[in-house]
Amino acid sequence: MTIRALSRPPTDTEIDAWVAVLAAARAADLPQGPPPARTEVAGRLRVTPVRGRAALWAADGGAGVAALLLFTDEANAHTAFLDVLAVHPDARRRGLGRALWEQVRAELLAHGRTSVSTLVDLGGPGQAFAQSLGFVNVLPMAWYEQDVTRRPRAAAGAPHPVAPGYELRAWHGLAPDDWAAPLATAHGAMQDAPVGDVDEKAEPWTPQRLHATQQLILDRGGEITTVAAVTARGEVAAYTELVLPDPAGPRALQYDTVVVPAHRGHGLGRAVKLHMLELARHRYPALRRIATTVADENTPMRAVNESLGYRPARPAAYYQLSL
């Protein structure tokens, strides 16, 4: 079976075939999960992150697909992220997954990469395949989901949504220019979040990187909302981000939630998430579930999420291979 690189940019036919492979694989491996949204898939195939270069392959007949992100920032020029490697259930156990991996591996070696990581749902064929290639678990985590249609207990009877001395601000799309620098500084507090042994290095957050990251979501057809707890001195003490890869769809992704160390202990993480939830309910009437990943060792964030109604959906992990 022939494996070819996708067109640049991919055609509608190539995108439809890609969606069909992902939909069939997900139905077989994660039947409880939602099918892939074409808007999200098309956006990810057509618009590459500013800090990386995408390599995309598909097997003839819509049998399998693979997507590799080669980081281009200097700190991560040694590594890459395997975003997708999926084989249609009807084409499995014929060596296609291994053939797609060989394409990926050749690309990694050609660009001098010494490691590659990927996000794996545990307990299924993806984990077994990754382990057969030599990948190892470097950051255990889990997917958690919240039913948006149910009001969390933490919201009941709370007269003050945020602690004294703080104010809640919300921005849809790009953060305003005058708040971009404080928000970028707050993003830097993510550096103390658990990362296990993942080889990818954290980049410094700047207003330019912040806006580029937000613009990428918009360029891919999605929407992003940021809720921040701010101080009178113009600091961002805490923030949370909600992303809808398909604004018309029923599912959103909870991106970063961060409380700056100097402002912890005031319930700001819960406050920004509660406010985000109320905004999402009004802005997106079709929204039903919010999904997020949390590292197993991130006990404080798991506790906040549980109080807001998040429940474990399935275990996952970052797996990594040294080349």
> Hey, what are 75's tokens?
């700190």
Residues in the chain: 323
**What pLDDT, on a 0 to 100 scale, did the predictor assign at position 172?**
97
pLDDT of amino acid 159: 45
Inter-residue contact 275 to 171 (CB < 8 Å) = no
Q: What is the dihedral of CA 123, 253, 53, 212, to 10 degrees?
A: -160
Residue 81's nearest CA partner among 312, 322, 241, 320 is 320
User: How high is the pLDDT of residue 155?
Assistant: 52
| Structure token pair of residue 188 | 């830097």
The reported pLDDT for the residue numbered 197 is 86
Residue 154: what pLDDT?
Answer: 52
| pLDDT the model gives residue 50 | 85
Helix (H) or strand (E) run with residue 108 in it:
helix 96-110
Which two structure tokens, joined as six digits, stand for 89?
């259930």
Q: Quick one: which of 33, 22, 23, 34 has its CA closest to 313?
A: 33
How do 236-244 and 251-259 pair as beta strands?
antiparallel
Cβ–Cβ < 8 Å for 317, 122: yes
Both structure tokens of 217: 């979501």
- Tell which residue, 44, 51, 48, 49, has the closest CA to residue 201: 51
Q: Is the dihedral of CA 270, 203, 8, 86 positive or negative?
A: negative
- Is the backbone peptide bond immediately before 9 cis, with ω within 30 degrees of 0? yes
CB atoms within 10 A of CB 51: 16
Query: What are the backbone angles phi and psi of residue 70, rounded to the nearest 5°?
Result: -95, 115
Taking the chain (323 residues) in runs of 10, the rounded mean pLDDT of each run is 93 97 96 90 93 95 96 95 97 96 98 97 95 97 93 53 93 97 93 78 92 97 98 97 96 94 94 94 94 93 90 96 96
**Sheet bearing 236-244, strands edge to edge:** 3-5, 52-59, 64-71, 80-87, 115-121, 311-322, 136-147, 289-295, 251-259, 236-244, 223-230, 167-172
Angle formed at CA 309 by CA 149 and CA 183, multiple of 5 degrees = 95
Angle at 52 between CA 47 and CA 54, to 5 degrees: 60
pTM of the model: 0.92
Residue 69: strand pairing partners: 54, 81
Question: How high is the pLDDT of residue 81?
Answer: 97
